């Protein structure tokens, strides 16, 4: 089988589906292939996100669950922040990804499930499509003017096309999705420190109707510990005995997230690399869904422009790199930088710093969690929490400021 199209998207995650929709909207004949049987399954993410972004993307309200309480726990301390209502949320991952798929198809994209790309087709130096194994096991080719690699952490196409290497460092996360009828459905927890998650953190995210995601992520190869074992520690903490009373896992998820600054290049002739493939998420918190959606949409727009102008050469497609860097470059640079510094905190360092969160305003906490860094934010935090300055935090913040 040889199939031809204008834009081929490999991977039906949030980045690929947004890319497909934008490309199809521009009038390009667009095909998406997804190796799994279903869009949004298996789940390999927790879905913590932000309501305004989802509304801006036109995501229906029933696909996210608002949360407003947030407690940060370390082995010897804790701090709670009450966020304003309708700011933070936990996504219905399968529902959201299916919705994004439907919207892409509605715009005219063709979606091929259980189709897996395993090789790259070149036309001289330019990427001209991929080799595919379909749902019957038959091999074929899909040729395209622009191929978009949206395969996530594996960078399946980009690596084979010579656009950077595979990731050497990543967060490995393990998570239960519980039915927990006694859990307060508006409250989230973050657990930091070596006792709970060496080099990473644990989380508890309720997602509505009694369902709660409890997970632990650690960074490899920085640590050799197994996140799956730490997940059992978090599940068994006395502190949660009441809220987990009568609870039981309904699903088990695992996943990988790149811990890397954004890659040097996101495009080459005939190819764009989106979402986790280019490390477009924030490695400070391991947040990647909305960033994947932004990056996918931008890539789909650029691919559509390339098709309509008849130019899918390297310099035309490099517009994608420029536009992404103009919007997100500094944010992701600073996120990576701060994340890398706090990864090595001892339990004692976490115990001393976490209580300072209660000195910050909810808006400051939100800006930090959302990675909305600017000089005003850093200075206002130093004013509200001057003890941070006395404990080495000033140097860290100043170095981050220097990157702005
Ligand atoms: C444990 C964990 C928890 C997380 N929690 C959060 C969170 O709370 N909030 C948040 O915003 N982010 C979170 N993230 C990050 C988030 O999941 C990613 O940033 C996001 O999924 C990236 O989207 P993507 O579309 O780039 O890649 P993916 O979501 O990985 O999608 C890639 C798609 O490509 C398909 N694919 C791969 N190879 C092929 C192939 N050869 N052929 C065809 N299809 C292929 C895959 O099956 C998949 O569907 C978490 C990550 C992990 C690991």
C-alpha to C-alpha distance for 36 and 16, rounded to whole angstroms: 14
Q: Are the C-beta atoms of residues 400 and 381 closer than 8 Å to each other?
A: no
pLDDT at 374: 83
Full residue range of the structural domain in which residue 183 is found: 64-89+169-258
What residues are paired with 211 via a beta bridge? 179, 208
Ligand 1 lined by 154 (C-beta under 6 Å):
yes
Determine, yes or no, domain membership for 224.
yes
> What CATH number does residue 117 fall under?
3.50.50.60
Instruction: Report the share of the chain in percent with pLDDT over 90.
Output: 90
Task: For residue 57, tell me if it sits in a domain.
Answer: no
Does residue 35 line the site of ligand 1, with CB under 6 A? Answer: yes
Both 228 and 293 in one domain: the answer is no
Q: Which atom of ligand 1 is nearest to the CA of 90?
A: 8
Residues 284 and 381 in one domain: no
Say whether both 195 and 220 belong to one domain: yes
Pocket of ligand 1 contains residue 288 by CB under 6 Å: yes
Cis status, amide bond into 22, omega within 30 of 0: no
Same domain, 249 and 270: no
Model pLDDT, residue 388: 64
pLDDT(214) > 70: yes
d(CA 254, CA 318) in angstroms, rounded, equals: 34
Indicate whether 247 belongs to any domain.
Answer: yes
Q: What pLDDT was estimated at residue 229?
A: 97
Residues 231 and 190 in one domain: yes
Q: Is 149 in the pocket of ligand 1 (CB under 6 A)?
A: no
Q: Are 323 and 280 in contact (CB under 8 A)?
A: no
d(CA 253, ligand 1 centre) in Å? 12
Q: Which among 237, 258, 279 is the end of a domain?
A: 258
Q: How far is the CA of 329 from the centre of ligand 1 (A)?
A: 20
- Kindly state if the Cβ of 36 falls inside 6 Å of ligand 1: yes
**Which of 241, 258, 275 finishes a domain?**
258
**Residue 59 resides in a domain:** no
Same domain for 285 and 178, yes or no, is: no
From 170, 278, 286, give the residue whose CB has the most ligand 1 atoms within 8 Å, as the site to mutate: 286
> Is 225 a residue whose pLDDT tops 60?
yes
116 lines ligand 1 (CB under 6 A): yes
Contact assessment for residue 104 and residue 20, using Cβ atoms and an 8 Å cutoff: yes
Question: Diameter of the chain by CA atoms?
Answer: 66
Structural domain contains residue 55: no
Tokens of 356: 């300072």
The answer, as to whether pTM is greater than 0.85, is yes
Residues 40 and 117 in one domain: yes
Residue 393 lies in a domain: yes
Q: Which of 9, 10, 11 to mutate to test the pocket of ligand 1 (most atoms within 8 A of CB)?
A: 11
Reported as a single tens digit per residue, the pLDDT across 103-119 is 999 999 999 999 999 99
199: CATH: 3.30.9.10
Question: Of 296, 327, 358, which residue is a domain's last?
Answer: 327
Is residue 390 domain-shared with residue 322, that is, in the same domain?
no
**3-state SS assignment for residue 250:** strand
What is the distance, to the nearest Å, from the Cα of residue 350 to the centroid of all Cα atoms in its chain? 24
Q: Which residues contact 80 (CB under 8 A, 6 or more apart)?
A: 69, 70, 71, 72, 358
Confidence bin at 401 (pLDDT 50/70/90): low
**pLDDT number for residue 349:** 93
CA distances from 79 to 76, 130, 168, 264, 369 (A): 11, 50, 34, 38, 15
- CB 173 less than 6 A from any atom of ligand 1: yes
pLDDT at 4 over 80: yes
The rounded Å distance from CA 45 to ligand 1 centre is 7
Q: Is the CB of 32 under 6 A from ligand 1?
A: no
The minimum-distance atom of ligand 1 relative to the CA of 36 is 47
Nearest to 265 by CA among 276, 255, 278, 256: 278
Answer whether residue 131 is part of any domain: yes
| Ligand 1 midpoint to CA 11 (Å) | 9
Per-residue confidence band for 375, with pLDDT thresholds at 50, 70 and 90: confident
Take atom 39 of ligand 1 and give the residue whose Cα is closest.
151
Q: How far away, in angstroms, is 174 Cα from ligand 1 center?
A: 14
Domain identity same for 366 and 393: yes
Q: Are 181 and 163 within one domain? A: no
**What's the pLDDT at 21?**
98
Whether ligand 1 lies within 6 angstroms of the CB of 39 is answered as no
Would you say the CB of residue 200 lies under 6 angstroms from ligand 1? no
- Does 385 have pLDDT greater than 90? no
392 pLDDT above the threshold of 80: no
* 173 compared with 378, residue with greater pLDDT: 173
Q: pLDDT tier at 393 (50, 70, 90 boundaries)?
A: low
Domain count, the chain: 3
Q: From ligand 1's centre to the CA of 155, what distance in Å?
A: 11
Using a 6 Å cutoff on CB, does residue 214 contact ligand 1? no
Do 210 and 346 lie in one domain? The reply is no
Distance 4 CA to ligand 1 centre (A): 26
Residue range 68-80: mean pLDDT, rounded: 97
In this structure, is residue 53 part of a structural domain? no
Are 175 and 251 contained in the same domain? Answer: yes
């Amino acid at each position: 089988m040889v199939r031809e199209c204008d834009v081929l998207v490999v991977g039906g995650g949030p980045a690929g589906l947004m890319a497909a929709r934008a490309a199809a909207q521009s009038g390009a004949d667009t095909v998406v292939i997804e190796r799994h049987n279903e869009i949004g399954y298996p789940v390999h993410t927790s879905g913590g996100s932000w309501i305004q972004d989802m509304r801006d993307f036109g995501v229906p309200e029933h696909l996210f669950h608002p949360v407003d309480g947030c407690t940060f726990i370390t082995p010897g301390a804790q701090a709670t922040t009450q966020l304003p209502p309708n700011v933070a949320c936990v996504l219905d991952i399968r529902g959201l990804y299916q919705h994004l798929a439907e919207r892409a198809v509605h715009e005219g994209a063709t979606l091929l499930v259980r189709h897996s790309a395993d090789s790259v087709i070149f036309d001289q130096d330019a990427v001209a499509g991929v080799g595919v194994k379909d749902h019957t096991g038959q091999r074929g080719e899909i040729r395209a003017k622009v191929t978009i690699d949206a395969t996530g952490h594996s960078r399946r196409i980009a690596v084979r096309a010579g656009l950077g290497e595979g990731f050497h460092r990543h967060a490995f996360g393990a998570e239960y999705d519980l039915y927990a009828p006694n859990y307060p459905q508006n409250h989230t927890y973050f657990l930091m420190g070596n006792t709970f998650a060496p080099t990473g953190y644990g989380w508890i995210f309720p997602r509505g109707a009694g369902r709660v995601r409890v997970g632990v992520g650690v960074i490899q190869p920085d640590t050799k510990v197994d996140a799956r074992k730490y997940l059992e520690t978090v599940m068994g903490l006395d502190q949660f005995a009441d809220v987990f009373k009568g609870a039981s896992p309904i699903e088990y998820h695992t996943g990988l997230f790149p811990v890397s600054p954004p890659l040097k290049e996101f495009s080459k002739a005939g190819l764009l690399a989106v979402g986790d493939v280019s490390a477009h998420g924030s490695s400070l918190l391991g947040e990647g869904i909305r960033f994947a959606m932004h990056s996918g949409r931008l890539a789909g727009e650029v691919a559509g422009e390339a098709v309509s102008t008849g130019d899918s050469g390297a310099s035309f497609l490099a517009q994608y790199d420029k536009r992404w860097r103009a919007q997100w470059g500094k944010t992701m640079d600073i996120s990576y930088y701060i994340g890398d510094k706090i990864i090595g905190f001892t339990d004692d360092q976490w115990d001393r710093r976490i209580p300072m969160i209660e000195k910050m305003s909810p808006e400051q906490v939100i800006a930090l969690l959302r990675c909305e860094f600017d000089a005003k934010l850093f200075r206002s935090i130093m004013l509200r929490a001057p003890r941070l300055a006395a404990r080495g935090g000033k140097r860290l913040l100043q170095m981050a400021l220097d990157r702005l």
